[in-house]
Amino acid sequence: MDISNTDDAVTRRISFFTDRVRNLKAHDLYFYNMPVEEIKGGSRVIVNGREMGMYASYSYLGLIGHPRINAAAKAAIDKYGTGTNGVRLLAGSLTIHTELEETIAAFKHAEAAVTYSSGYSTNLTVISTLMGRGDYVISDKLNHASIVDGCLMSGAEFRRFKHNDMEELERRLQQIPSDAAKLVVADAVFSMDGDVLDLPRTVQLCRKYHAWLMIDEAHSIGVLGKTGRGIEEHFGLDDVIDIKMGTLSKTIPSVGGYAAGKKDLINYLRHASRAYIFSAALPPAQTAAANEAFKIILEEPWRIEAVCANGQQFIDGLKSAGFDTMLTTTAIVPVLCGSDERAFALTQACQHKDLFVLPVVSPAVPEGQSRLRATVTATHEPKEIDYAVGVIAKAGREIGIIQ
């Protein structure tokens, strides 16, 4: 069917986007979905035959391509093949699934863990399994889309509090009937701003108002805490989070998501969460890769020190050039530009100087807060970071973002 002549709301919505993308491409401002031909460690990639410094990777510890992880994945294929028999509840769990879940539970100081085929589906399924009509979910305003979607899907009353504002969180909790089921949910490290949740106060409030607490550790595993165990270790707290959620697609160079917590909770999720019951298990190679990666994080602590030092060097360099990097203290570094146009112009200048970095523009962030969203990893060299800061600062001055 030729839809080009139709004039309905859906077609108009698609046309608006098509025009926006076409316009960006026409002005050499479109850098999404880049064709990456090769990943060289955590800090460099080959794009269209050109080597670039990578500042948009979630591989915070530079573990993609680690020989032990690759070997574990290959051995798993030799042993189990490439697929599973389907849904674990009925077709059975592979030994490697159980091993990975035990590894995660031990790493997160939890009694048990369950895995799903993506971080996105983990948030959807865990929140919507535990919460339903008549219940309350209370979510930080900057939480990841998968958390928001999970809250909406649950059918529970959806309340949001101002980003990391503990007074407003307390007010929200006070407004909810004391006997209602409540879940407070937040990112540990916020994915667009790079700042860290005030976990100690969040825990106190959850205890005071008898709310469950779920934390998404997508950007904190391997980054926060002396041994990379995440936000609890960062604040010197042990096992204070009811539902410890994380992904296997960022620091852990695989794919998938997990929830860790008390045995009964995890057992309940294994029998009640739809993404476990109605969707196939993680493939063996990815499961084995994830399992090996958790071990390497503990055995190669230099990587955690390096990602923290690199993050600090990058933030300090950008700040002293005059940029606003918001409240980040982690490996996610927003470089505030203001308008979408400025963010696109800064991206273009960086890309032309071989920096692979992407903009985040409205509506993904509030209007006027468009930015480069840069990340650093453990495998960037200090001189590479100096180069990146130099390129961003020169372009920032030319565009008028900094003086």
Ligand X SMILES: Cc1ncc(COP(=O)(O)O)c(C=O)c1O
* Residue (163 or 394) nearer to ligand X, CB: 163
- Choose one: 114-122, 169-177, 200-208, 369-377; the region binding ligand X (CB under 6 A): 114-122
Does 118 participate in binding ligand X (rule CB under 6 A)?
Answer: yes
Asked whether position 119 contacts ligand X by CB under 6 A, the answer is yes
Q: Looking at 18-26, 38-46, 215-223, 345-353, which segment touches ligand X (CB under 6 A)?
A: 215-223
DSSP assigned state of 326? T
Kindly identify the residues of this chain, within the stretch 232-251, that bind ligand X according to CB under 6 A: 247, 249
Of all residues in the shown chain, the one whose CB is closest to ligand X is: 119
Angle formed by the axes of helices 382-399 and 302-321, to 10°?
30
Residue selected from 101, 193, 216, 232 as contacting ligand X according to rule CB under 6 A:
216
In terms of CB distance, is 257 or 284 closer to ligand X?
A: 257
Catalytic residues: 191, 219, 250
Among positive and negative, which fits the CA dihedral 12, 18, 21, 22?
negative
> Applying CB under 6 A, which part among 48-56, 118-126, 161-169, 270-278 lies near ligand X?
118-126
Nearest to 392 by CA among 327, 332, 328, 325: 325
Is the CB of residue 47 less than 8 Å from the CB of residue 35?
yes
Residue from 31, 80, 120, 314 in contact with ligand X (CB under 6 A): 120
Distance CA 277, CA 253 (A): 25
Per CB under 6 A, does 187 bind ligand X?
Answer: yes
Of positions 218, 266, 290, 372, contacts ligand X by CB under 6 A: 218
DSSP secondary structure code for residue 280 in this structure? P
Question: Nearer to ligand X by C-beta: 291 or 348?
Answer: 291
By the rule CB under 6 A, 325 interacts with ligand X: no
Angle between helices 145-154 and 119-130 (to 10 degrees): 30
Least separation in angstroms between CB 372 and ligand X: 17
Q: How many residues bind ligand X (CB under 6 A)?
A: 14
Q: Is 146 in the site for ligand X (CB under 6 A)?
A: yes
Is residue 193 at the binding interface for ligand X, with CB under 6 A as the rule?
Answer: no
- Residue 273 CB, shortest distance to ligand X, in Å, is 15
For the chain, how big is the Rg over CA atoms in Å? 22
Judged by DSSP in three states, 223 sits in coil
Measured in degrees and rounded to the nearest 5, phi and psi for residue 59 equal: -80, 70
Nearer to ligand X, 73 or 389 (CB): 73
Asked whether the CA dihedral 374, 378, 380, 385 is positive or negative, the reply is positive
Q: Note the residues at the interface with ligand X (CB under 6 A).
A: 118-120, 123, 144, 146, 187, 191, 216, 218-219, 247, 249, 257
